[in-house]
Amino acid sequence: MLNAKKICKKAALVFFCFYINAPVSLAQNIPGVISVHDPVIIRQDSTYYIFCTGMGITVYSSRDMKNWQQQPPVFAKAPEWAVKAIPHFRGHIWAPDISYHNGLYYLFYAVSAFGKNTSAIGVATNKTLDIHSPAFTWEDHGQVIQSVPGRDMWNAIDPNIITDEKNVPWMVFGSFWNGIKIVKLDSTLLAVARPEQWYTVAARARNAVLPDSVAGDAAIEGPFVFKKDKYYYLFVSFDYCCRGEKSTYKMMVGRSENVYGPYVDRDGVPMNLGGGSLVLEGNKNWNGVGHNAVANFDGTDYLVFHGYDAQDNGKSKLRIEKLLWINGWPVVQQRLE
C-alpha cells in the first residue's frame, strides 16, 4: 500500500509517516487524536490494545477505547533476521496483526525496502499483553514468508490471520503488484502449511509495462478478513494513503462462503478481477480513510482504521466506528464528521 505505515515502504513515492511516533499528550487522549497508521485492536481482560506501524511496532492501551496510553514498543531493537533479510532496514515495522491462539498472542508484522517488494513477514508471540505481568515477554520466531523482486509478483506485507470453520489458520496479505494473497498456515502458525495452498483473493488492473520491481498503479492493500454468520468478509484499501490532505484512501469489501474465496462484491464482481464494494471513503473533513481492522467486543462490531484529518494538515489519526450489517453487508453506523 502506499501508506504511511509504510512511511518508508512507500518512501519512493511519498513521505508522510513522521507522525507515527509523536508523543502522546494525556490531555488529548480522546477518540481520533492519537496518531497511528495501520491499527489493529484486541482486548485482554478489561484492557484494549492497539498495535500499529512504528519503530519496533507502536502499542497503545486503553480501558475504554477513548483514552489511550502509549506502551513500550514490541521490539527495543530491530529483529536481527529482518536486518539481514531487508537492505537498509533499521527497525521501522509496518502493519502488525494481533490475534490469540493456543494460549498465546501472535503478532505478525511486515518489514520492507522502499517502494519495492523486497519484503518479509515475521511473527512474535507472548503469553500476555500486560506489561506488568511477570509472564510478559515477546519471543520473536522470525520470518514466515518473503517476497523477492524479479522472482515474485506479490508483496509480503500487511499480514492478517483468520481461522476457518475447521479452526485452520490462514494468512491474508499483500499490496499492489498482483494483489492480495491468502495462504494456509500450519498448526503452529509459524510457517506455511505443506503442501502449500496459495490463492489470489483480490487484485486491480496493473500497468503491464512497469518493471516487476515497481509497485505501480494497482493500488490495493491492507487486507483484513472477518467472519460474520456464514460469510467471510474481505476488507481492503483502494487508492493512496500517506499523502496528507491529498490522500485518497478508501475501504472496500467483498464476501465469500470460503475463506480462500472467491470473494465477490454487492454486484457479484469478483474481487480478484477488480471488484469491491465501498465501505467508507474520505470527505471534506477526512481526506482519506483506510487500512482497517474489524473486531467484536461484547456483541458489537467495530471498524478500526486511520484517517487523514483535513482540519489538522492531513495528520493520520485513529478512528473507531461501530459497524452494522444490513442485508448481509457491513455499514458504518455513523458517517465521518
Known catalytic membership, residue 97: no
Alpha-carbon span 78 to 201, nearest angstrom: 31
Q: Which of 38, 239, 265, 309 is catalytic?
A: 38
3-state SS class at 295: strand
Torsion sign (Cα): 274, 276, 278, 280: negative
DSSP result, 77-127 = S--HHHHHHSTT--SEEEEEEEEEETTEEEEEEEEE-TTSS-EEEEEEEES
In total, the chain counts a number of residues equal to 337
Q: Which of 58, 52, 111 is nearest to 87 (CA)?
A: 111
Q: Which of 144, 158, 232 is nearest to 196 (CA)?
A: 144
* Torsion angle defined by CA atoms of residues 109, 114, 120 and 123, in that order, rounded to the nearest 10 degrees: -20
Q: Which of 6, 28, 26 is nearest to 17 (CA)?
A: 6
Q: Which of 166, 152, 165 is nearest to 198 (CA)?
A: 152
Known catalytic membership, residue 221: yes
Q: Which of 97, 152, 158, 221 is catalytic?
A: 221
Q: Which residues contact residue 18 at a Cβ distance below 8 angstroms, ignoring those fewer than 6 apart?
A: 7
What end-to-end distance do the CA atoms of the chain give, in Å? 25
Q: Which of 204, 189, 139 is nearest to 159 (CA)?
A: 189
Q: Which residues are catalytic?
A: 38, 221
